[in-house]
Amino acid sequence: MTAPAARAPWTPARTGVWVGIAAISMSFAAFTSALIVREGPGSDWQHFRLPPVLYANTLVLLVSSALLEIGRRRQRDGREASSWVAASGILGVAFILGQIVAWRALAAQGVFLASSPSSAFFYVLTVIHAIHVTGGLAGLGYTYRRLVRTPGSAAGVLTAAATYWHFMAALWLYVLFVLVARI
Amino acid sequence: MRITGIAALAGLALGASAVAGVAGPHLRAAGGTISGTITYTGTPPKMKPIDMAKEPTCAKQHATPVMTEGAVTGPGNTLADVVVYISAGDQPGPAPTQPVRYDQKGCQYVPHVAVMQAGQPLEIYNDDETSHNIHPMPKLNSEWNKSQPPGTPPIHTSFDKPEFISVKCNVHPWMHGVFAVLNTSHATVSGADGSFKLEGLAPGHYTVTAWHERFGTQTADVTITGSETQTVKLVFKATPY
Amino acid sequence: MGKFFAVTVGILTIVSAGIFMFHVWWLPPDISVLGAGIDHQLNETMVASGILFVASQLALAVFVWRSSGSTGPIKIFPGGATPMVVIAVVLVGIEVAVLTLVGSKVWAGLFMVQAPANALQVDVQAEQFAFYFRYAGPDGKFGAMDPSKVSDANNNFFGLDPANDTTARDDIVAATLAIPVNRPILLTMHSRDVGHAFYVPQLRIQQDFVPGLVIPLHFTATQTGKYEIVCTQLCGLGHYNMRAYVEVMSDSDFAQWLKTQANQ
Amino acid sequence: MTTPVRETVAKLTELKHQPPEGFWRRYVFSLDHKVIGRQYLDLALVAVITGMVLSWLMRLHLGYPNASIGVLGPANPSQMTPEYYLQLMTMHGTIMVFFVLTTAPFAGFGNFFLPIQVGAEDMAFPRFNMMSFWVTFLAFVTLVASFFVPEGPALSGWTAYAPLSAIGKEAGPGEGLGQTLWAISIALFCVGQLLGALNFIATTLDLRTKGMSLARMPFSTWAWFTTSVIGLIAFSVLLPACILLILDRVAGTSFFIPAGLVFNDQVQTHSGGSPLLWQHLFWFFGHPEVYIAILPGFGIISHILPAFTRKPLLGPKVLIGCMIAIGFLSYTVWGHHMFLSGMNPFSAILFSVPTLIITIPATIVTLLWIGSIYGARLRITAASLFCLGFVSVFVSGGISGFFLAQPSIDTYLHGTYFVVGHFHFVMGVAAMFGIFAGTYFWFPKMYGRMMNETLGKWHFALTFIGVYCIFMPMHYIGLAGNVRRYSSFTDDYLQPLLPVHKFMTIAALFTGAAQLIFFYNLFRSRFKGPPAPPNPWEATSLEWSTPASPPPFDNFGGKHPVVTQGPNEYGTAGAKDYVMQAGGEA
């Protein structure tokens, strides 16, 4: 079986990303089951309104993901891609800043980590997700450098970075779903 | 002597006591005495027998069950285990180097209340055939919690800040005692008949405070002029629960 | 050295198995209604796994004895891997199935049926590092527990409020679990600090205390006597000394005991 | 699929593989999987000595309660106290399970040999590999540091059950800063092992050399690969659990702490948490962790045994299938640690069934090993003796699992020394025997020198008899109801068992002393052992095709081995009775 010539070669980076995705999924599955168990028996679960900025952040992260996908396709077709990667990264930074705004908004309302189990899970899930997004940003930075310096061999890295970044967007949608449904 | 006295006073800033302190050398044996009996009104809680079944080596030391010691009363409404001390008017000297001895005997603290001056050494002995853990629960001093297996040497310690510290043994949850850490060497604990005596007080105005672990504090003002004995009456209000 | 290994394995196997077989150390006598089922299950497992243990160790010893230093042509085990798989699947499979079927019944009898209606309910509080037992007293009602009222110093281990709660006034609290013989006992178990466990080897019963939960446990003792209750869930420095006694008494002795306790 | 893989390897070589320069890059922050593997093994060696000394102190106290332990005792008083015993026990368990049984057979040997056995120059992500080690090292330092904080290290056992582990210093000595450091250490350890697992999986999948199909991978590679998949899932769950535990301890949350707890007559402010949640999360990791410790042993034994029986291992595909089945089943059985924890009693039966079923693949594997010895031309060496010993202790330890897997019997045996005997045999001693076998077998390849065989055989004989004397009696006293995790035995019904404890203590000290032979052999051989030929055991797998011992920086001296057969080609006809995987030429 011959792969289409245009397809990026399979590199360990891509395997690594998929393995990483498996591990992160497992961690969030553990957090989610902890959340469900913890909500169950306790009478102390408090519902509160999620900061609206979260929805704007969602949009930012999805657009960032889309830009990176465009970049990846352009690179595959042999066109300039680094500016798309850069734009995607800038939106990624914007997402993190937006999350910080959300945390500060909640703190201003007096909702802190230890206020209630629901707020504890809110902070834990969003902060851990943000840490993973920050890791992804580092990966995007590396990809950008590779695209600028050695564009010829950057396809594998770009594909891996894009896979991870899309996963981050999907993971955020999942986290948001859990938060909307439970908090 | 005078200079040391002033320095000590300046450090401890005990306001009214300044006159008395500066007046002359501190006399330990001689001087006035404050004595009295601690009584209560009202109904104190009923003390309950302690079931030491889990620690046979202790249970066998007591022919009749030991009672709890939260409010130990005597005939004539007297109250034991009350800390009586000079809370104002005293010139606190340096902490005595003579250690206070505290025993764990038959799974009880002996004495129930130990009085010591801040900084005075405290020696805790385990006279039982079982391991105890000593767990003082101070608010101002640092908390610690340590086991003392049978046959091991005493624990040497001291507390720097005055406060009443509740002490417990988690291995034998009924064991409960008090470390009364005070800023004075003029302190005592009322006996089984409620009586107490504070000796060797230089002439001056004093505030005598009595403290009980359940019923709070009572105070009285006393003036000593020479080597006389002043009697004070301190009465607590007891509640059954 | 190969022969040394074979002999050593042989001796270790026979000695190990022999000590089990001759009950050099064994369970203390059973004093509960359901204990016989557990003992039976344990004996069955002991026989089945004992055979497996001795057979595989001796096979190992014999094969090593015969093959060590051998220079002859190698031989493949007759049938290759197939007999191994068959032995494991069939023998162990059957053993597993039988043990599960029989054992589940024993387990269900212990933990999956309600205590009989005539069971005597005893409330158990575990704490660092003691057990306390509470009987409802003449009114048949347990007083409410309030954590803020708990005071070891005052012997108020359950956090009762006799000043305001009339049902709490006649509750009997003891450090010993006194129970009548041949009557079902229902323990309602709760811990006020960390995890603990209730274990009486003679009763063949063990159950964790979980803070925040009230866990029911029931059993019936069939012989009078005094037995130790020990904690089997690591709970802190005094874990090794967290114990109490269960005293199984005749009905009349138990009635007398209750009376004495109530008067204190 | 093989062609693009080869290209990748070639590219990797160009990109990353210049030999390191300078002391730091070469020996400390090395990217070379062989250096990292040796670093892991050295860490495990330090850890195992620490853990063993802790166990001596514990055994000494149990056998001779009044014996003084001098400078190794707690600061004041210097006698063994109950809390110090529990702290030693907690640290012994944590150090042994995490920093010995996980690091040595998996991260240590795996790092050194997995890339070589699949014919790669290095791991897929050397930088992650280096981070993996140093994060693990930091985790170890953090754990050991807790010995030096006020009131000492944690005492809640390696399982750290909440709320004892979650509430703080109110719960007693060791539950303050010591327990926090414990939680941080384990969280770091998870990160380190996740990075390691990532590397193992990617390397196995992507960097296999030409001809190295999955079916041709050695058993040890299969075991490391399976283990890394198990570890990836297990540590991904323990890490969140540790994060929540740390938050409960330092940030005032209540994930695991229920409402209304009273410590020292003070009501705690926490509310509504679930202690069972910790147990579920912990054991979801904890049971697979047992297999993380023992599966590499399976692989090492299966890899080494044929080289000394001089015949192929029976049923290689069955064996690999069994290892995968065990790995899969290990995720369905965690509740068997919680039969008596107040969880729904019906679920006990549900957890009991897969636990009993897991004995089937385990039995198959054991029988395959035993059957493989039948009709062999067995060469007795230190390595092969430890393989044979592994089979024996694995049987002894595995059998007692039959008892504990059944809730009805666990009702009696849970929390007794029967459990201690069981897991020490099946996971502790068996895994250690795997490590010993691996050490005697691979030492020549790792350090270029042979170990002393006579000392090795003495080490085996004394250790083998010793471990039976320590751990078999634990089953007996367990049957008699001897409770575990007790610092002294004051209960009336335990008094007749005290002589047994004395016996086990003496056995433990003797067996420990026998390890000095091993340490001496290890250190002496490292510097003074006779030079090792490239293939001293006449084994088939790729590590023996490397041009030198130890292998050069890029493992195969600039060549790429081409694999023509599986690793199980022993007992063949011809001048030699084996065929190298790389066709006899490297």
Q: Show me where the domains of chain B are located.
A: 1-92+197-241, 93-183
Please check whether residue A5 lies inside any domain of the structure. Answer: no
Confidence (pLDDT) at C263: 81
CA distance B201 to B91: 10
Confidence (pLDDT) at B9: 39
CB contact under 8 Å between D151 and B144, yes or no, is: yes
- Give the nearest chain D residue to A29 (CA atoms): D237
Domain positions in chain C are 2-69+76-111, 120-263
Which residue in C49, C99, C199 is closest to D483 by CB distance? C199
CATH superfamily of B93-183: Cupredoxins -  blue copper proteins (2.60.40.420)
CB contact under 8 Å between D359 and C89, yes or no, is: no
Residue labelled with tokens 């006694």: C245
Confidence (pLDDT) at B26: 45
User: Do B and A have ≥3 inter-chain CB pairs under 8 A?
Assistant: no
Chain A touching partners, 3 or more CB pairs below 8 A: D
Query: Domain span at residue A59?
Result: 52-182
Residue B4 confidence class, pLDDT cut points 50, 70, 90:
very low
Q: What percent of chain A has pLDDT over 90?
A: 79
- Best probe of the C interface among D309, D483, D503, D569, by most C CBs < 10 A, is D483
Which residue in D66, D264, D490 is closest to B135 by CB distance? D264
Residue A183 confidence class, pLDDT cut points 50, 70, 90:
confident
Confidence (pLDDT) at B2: 44
CA distance A107 to A103: 6
State the smallest CA–CA distance between residue D161 and chain C in angstroms.
8
Residues 216-245 of D with CB under 8 A from A: 232-233, 235-237, 239-241, 243-244
- Give the nearest chain B residue to D78 (CA atoms): B152
Q: Which CATH class is domain B1-92+197-241?
A: mainly beta
CA distance D221 to D13: 22
Q: What is the CA radius of gyration of chain C?
A: 26
- Give the nearest chain A residue to D243 (CA atoms): A124
- Best probe of the D interface among A1, A32, A33, A38, by most D CBs < 10 A, is A38
CB contact under 8 Å between B54 and C127, yes or no, is: no
Contacts of residue A12 in chain D, CB cutoff 8 Å? 8, 12, 124-125, 202-203, 206-207
CA distance C12 to D542: 38
Contacts of residue D11 in chain A, CB cutoff 8 Å? 153
CA distance D6 to D178: 49
- Best probe of the C interface among D159, D269, D333, D409, by most C CBs < 10 A, is D409
Residue C153 confidence class, pLDDT cut points 50, 70, 90:
confident
- Best probe of the C interface among D155, D353, D411, by most C CBs < 10 A, is D411
Q: What is the CATH number of the domain that holds D261?
A: 1.20.210.10
Average pLDDT over residues C186-215: 96
The two tokens of residue C124 are 């158990």
CA distance D463 to D430: 12
Residue-wise pLDDT for B45-95, tens only, equals 888 889 999 999 999 999 998 999 989 999 999 999 999 999 988 888 899
Please check whether residue A135 lies inside any domain of the structure. Answer: yes
CB contact under 8 Å between B168 and D83, yes or no, is: no
Residue C87 confidence class, pLDDT cut points 50, 70, 90:
confident
Residue-wise pLDDT for A54-106, tens only, equals 999 999 999 999 999 999 999 989 899 999 999 999 999 999 999 999 999 99
- Give the nearest chain B residue to D266 (CA atoms): B137
Confidence (pLDDT) at D575: 78
Pair C251, D297: CB distance under 8 Å: no
Residue B154 confidence class, pLDDT cut points 50, 70, 90:
very high
Contacts of residue B153 in chain D, CB cutoff 8 Å? 77
SS3 string, chain B, reads CHHHHHHHHHHHCCCCHHHHHHHCCCCCCCCEEEEEEEEEEECCCCCCECCCCCCHHHHCCCCCCCECCCCCEECCCEECCCEEEEEECCCCCCCCCCCEEEEEECCEEECCEEEEECCCCEEEEECCCCCEEEEEECCCCCCCCEEECCCCCCEEECCCCCEEEEEECCCCCCCEEEEEEECCCCEEECCCCCEEEEEEECCEEEEEEEEECCCEEEEEEEEECCCCEEEEEEEEEECCC
Contacts of residue C230 in chain B, CB cutoff 8 Å? none
Please check whether residue D25 lies inside any domain of the structure. Answer: no
* Selection from D453, D137, D106 nearest residue D295 by Cα: D106
CA distance D142 to D182: 7
Contacts of residue D351 in chain C, CB cutoff 8 Å? none
Q: What is the CATH number of the domain that holds A132?
A: 1.20.120.80
Residue B177 confidence class, pLDDT cut points 50, 70, 90:
very high
State the smallest CA–CA distance between residue A66 and chain D in angstroms.
27
Phi, psi of B107 (to 5 degrees): 60, 40
Please check whether residue A85 lies inside any domain of the structure. Answer: yes
Same CATH topology for B1-92+197-241 and B93-183: the answer is yes
C154 touches chain B (CB under 8 A): yes
D572 touches chain C (CB under 8 A): no
SS3 string, D368-394, reads HHHHHHCCCCECCCHHHHHHHHHHHHH
Residue C198 three-state SS: strand
Residue A9 confidence class, pLDDT cut points 50, 70, 90:
low
Confidence (pLDDT) at B29: 53
Please check whether residue A8 lies inside any domain of the structure. Answer: no
Average pLDDT over residues C146-154: 91
State the smallest CA–CA distance between residue A35 and chain D in angstroms.
9
Confidence (pLDDT) at B30: 72
CATH number for the domain formed by residue range(s) C120-263: 2.60.40.420
Structurally, how many domains does chain D consist of?
A: 1
> Which class for D329: exposed (0-12), middle (13-18), buried (19 or more C-beta within 10 A)?
buried
State the smallest CA–CA distance between residue B131 and chain D in angstroms.
8
Structurally, how many domains does chain A consist of?
A: 1
Confidence (pLDDT) at D243: 97
Least confident window among A146-160, B186-200, D517-531:
A146-160
CB contact under 8 Å between D376 and C5, yes or no, is: no
pTM score over 0.95: no
Confidence (pLDDT) at A100: 97
- Best probe of the C interface among B46, B47, B48, B54, by most C CBs < 10 A, is B54
Pair B156, B123: CB distance under 8 Å: yes
Q: Flag residues of chain D having pLDDT under 70.
A: 1-18, 75-78, 584-586
B64 touches chain C (CB under 8 A): no
Peptide bond into D77 cis (omega under 30): yes
Report chain B's mean pLDDT, rounded to a whole number.
86
Phi, psi of D450 (to 5 degrees): -85, 150
Neighbours of A60 (CB within 10 A): 22
